Structure 1
Amino acid sequence: MTTPVSRVLEELADREAIKECLYRYARGVDRLDADMIRSAYWPDCIDSHMGFTGNAEEFIAWSFPIMGSMDQTMHMISNVLISLRGDEADCEAYFYGIHRINLPDGSKSDVIGAGRYLDTLAKRDDEWRILRRNVVTDWFRQYPDSADWSNGMLGIMIEPGGRHPDDESYSLLSLK
């Protein structure tokens, strides 16, 4: 599939708005920001996600206890392919997620998962959001341990980013 340059130019604003929607989702799950996640989904969406199927509110109720039990998470999105059809679009976006897990014995473990978000998005009132999502996991790796943060990175003491609303990005960005 190739898209002529002239068509990409015509669709540029919609393509960027779709990418921003995907990025809002990733930020929302990493910061545990329910409103940010809601801004990425239409209320009537259906998300099929690692054994879960439901709407945005059900996804938040299912995922927040899981994600909140982790010290840190980071979801990155790349390789975004978009096929626009008027006010609907199909999109495949690769994800790479890093998770620092708290184990029952008090130790830490890192889990990395990678795959693709297969989305159908809808544009309503000049706004793009996810209408249907199917998450395909293509790869994962669980490490038996995690980095020792007590000594810092390369001996430099650092504080990890926070969650909603304490992360400093909330004083920088005014995203709604």
Structure 2
Amino acid sequence: MENIHPILDAADIERIIARIAHEILEVHKGANNFSLVGIQTRGVFLAKRIQALIKKIEGIEIPAGIVDITLYRDDWTRISHNPVVQATDVFFSIDGKQVILVDDVLFTGRTIRAAMDAIMDYGRPDRIELAVLVDRGHRELPIQANYVGKHISTGLSESINVLLTECDGIDKVVLEKR
């Protein structure tokens, strides 16, 4: 376990999500013309948490969808010959709306590029923004987040693992050195 270092605990994650929700509301001057779309898997849970906080703050339940980017990845054939495709559920119109993609970790930018491609298959939003829990750098594409929980400098041989109660039984973020 000496190769795993804690970065964020449950209280840190809760504070970060609250800050991101407030930043989104400040930038958008309320909760009227935007929706959230979580990227499978942990981005979905983060989007739902942000959605719940916005409802608590503003009394408005904004739409929150789910996108799976598996078949939009530029490397899916390298990952598996039989990729596991999860649910995509964008049950609302995104035409003319502002869409905020939500993900756990921003790394090379390739996942976000794939998510934007997937979103465009559902319509033409006015704007796409990005909210991430952790930005670890090392971009391969010119993509940056509008809302960042924490910037963590990492080496290429390290990884950031986000654990969330909904799928992992605990909230924490760890840095793993390989």
Q: Same fold (TM over 0.5)?
A: no
Larger-gyration structure (1/2): 1
Relative contact order (alpha carbons < 8 A, sep ≥ 6): 1 or 2 greater?
A: 2
Structure 2 length-normalised TM: 0.25
